[in-house]
Structure 1
Amino acid sequence: MSDSAGGSRRERTLRAIIRSARELTDEHGLDGFTMEQLAERTGVSRRTLFNYVPGKVDAVLGPEKTLDPAIIEAFLAGGPTGDLLVDVKEIVRASLQADVPDPAELAAVRRLLRKDTRLMLAVHERFVEKSRELSDAIATREGRQVDPLDLRIIGTLIISLCDIALDESLAQPTRTVAECFDHAFDAMSSLFAPRPA
C-alpha cells in the first residue's frame, strides 16, 4: 500500500495516538485513564501503542521534532552570523519552532499544560536535553577546549529562557513559544548591554 498525502501509516497512527491521548487527558486528567484505554480509543493494540510511545506523557506531548540537519551543519560551521550568542539564539529558536504542534492542536496543548504540572516538567526536561545537545554543538563548533563553566552558564541561560518563553506563551496565546523566546532573549541581552554614561 502506498503512502497517501496524509503521510505514512506510521505517521497517521502516531497522530491518532497523540490526538486520543490529548482527548483522554482533557476529559479525565493524566491519571484518569490507562494505556490500555488509550490503545482502545486509538484502535491499536497495547503492544503497538508501546512501539510508538513509552507512556502517557510522551503520548500527550508527542515526539520531539528533529532539527533540519542543514541548520545544525550551518551552526557547526560558524553560522548563520558568526556571532556565537546570536547563532545560539537562532538555533534554539529554530528548535522551538520545529516543536510547535499543529495549529489546530495548539490551544488543546496549552490547556493541558496549564492543567497538569507533570506535562510542564516534561517540557522542561526536553529543554534540558536540548541544552545538553547545544553545549556539545558549541564545543564542536569552537574547535577548542571550551571552559566548562561557560558551557554551564550558556546551558542554564537557555533552559531558563525557554521556561520563561513557555510561561509567556501560555499567558499570551497569540504568541508562539519561539516568539516569546526571542523577546526573553532580547530582554536578557539588553540587561548586559553597555549603558550610556
Structure 2
Amino acid sequence: MGVVVREGMYVPGLRERKKQATRQALRETALRLAEQHGLDGLTVEAVCAEVGVSTRTFFNYFPSKEDALVGDGPALPPDAVVDRIFAEHAADGPIAGASAVLLHMVDTGTQPDVRHKAQMFERFPTLVPALLAKFAAFERSLAEAVARNMGPAPRPDFYPELVAACAVTAMRVAAKRWSTGDREESLASYTHGVFEVFRKELA
C-alpha cells in the first residue's frame, strides 16, 4: 500500500514496488525483443522466458504483447498531490496549474523510456491508435482535475476540456521533439521550455 509523504511524493509499498518491477521488466523485455525481431517476431513466450515468469503472469499484467509495448500511458499523481500543485499556482490560473502538474510528472519520470517508446511507435505505426487512446484517457483525467481546481471565476463548461487538451498536446509535442532530436538537453529541461511558450501564448 502506498503512502503520500512530505513534499507531495508518493511512495508505494513493498508489494506494489515488486509488482511494478515485474511489469517494468516485462515491458522493457518486450520493447527490446520487438526492436530485435520486429512485431511479428515478438512472442509472449520469449518475453516470459527472459524475465523468468509464466505466461499466466504476463497476462495478469497485459492483455496482449501490443499492450506490453504501449504500456499504461501517462497517469496523474494522486489527487492530493495534483490539488496541492494547482493550489500553489492558483494566482496564475488553471492553465498554469495544469502545466505545473505535467511538468511535475516529467521532472519525476523516466526519460529513456520516453525516447525508446517514441522510436518504437515510429517503427510500428500500428501501435499508434492504442497510444492515442491512452492519451485520451489521461486527458479526461486532467480535465477532471482542472474542473476540480479552477476556482469560482465564471468560465464556459468546456473550459476544463480545452485546458487539458492544450496542455496534453504541449506535452506530446515536447516529448516527440525531444525523443527525435540529437540534443543532449534533458527531457525535463526541454519540456519546461515548451511549456514556457505554451503558458505565454495562452495567457
Structure 1 unaligned runs (5+)? none
Q: 1:32 aligns with which of 29, 34, 41?
A: 41
What is the aligned-residue identity percentage? 21
Task: Figure out how many residues of one structure are paired with residues of the other and give that number.
Answer: 185
Deviation at 1:184, TM superposition (A): 2.3
Bigger relative CO (Cα 8 Å, ≥ 6 apart): 2
| TM-aligned CA deviation for residue 166 of structure 1 | 1.9
Secondary structure, counterpart of 2:158 in structure 1: helix
Letter in 2 for 1:46: T
Q: Partners of 2:135 and 2:106 in 1: how far apart?
A: 9
Instruction: Give the aligned partner of residue 136 of structure 1.
Output: 144
Query: 47, 72, 91: which one pairs with 2:101?
Result: 91
Partner of 2:125: 117
Check 1:177–1:92 CA distance in 2 against 1; reply closer, same or farther (3 A cut). Answer: same
Q: Is it true that 1:158 corresponds to 2:167 in the alignment? A: yes
Question: Per the alignment, do residues 93 and 31 of structure 1 end up closer, same or farther by CA in structure 2, a change over 3 Å counting?
Answer: farther
Gaps of 5+ in 2: 1-13
User: CA 1:150–1:107 in 2, change beyond 3 Å: closer, same or farther?
Assistant: closer
TM normalised by structure 2 equals: 0.72
CA contact (8 A) 2:140 2:161 kept: no
Name the CA distance, whole Å, in 2 between partners of 1:92 and 1:118: 27
Where 1:134 maps in the other structure, the secondary structure is helix
Q: 1:122 to 1:162 in 2, by over 3 A?
A: farther
Shift of 1:69: 5.1
Aligned residue in 1 for 2:24: 15
TM-score (norm 1): 0.74
Q: 1:181 is matched with which residue?
A: 191
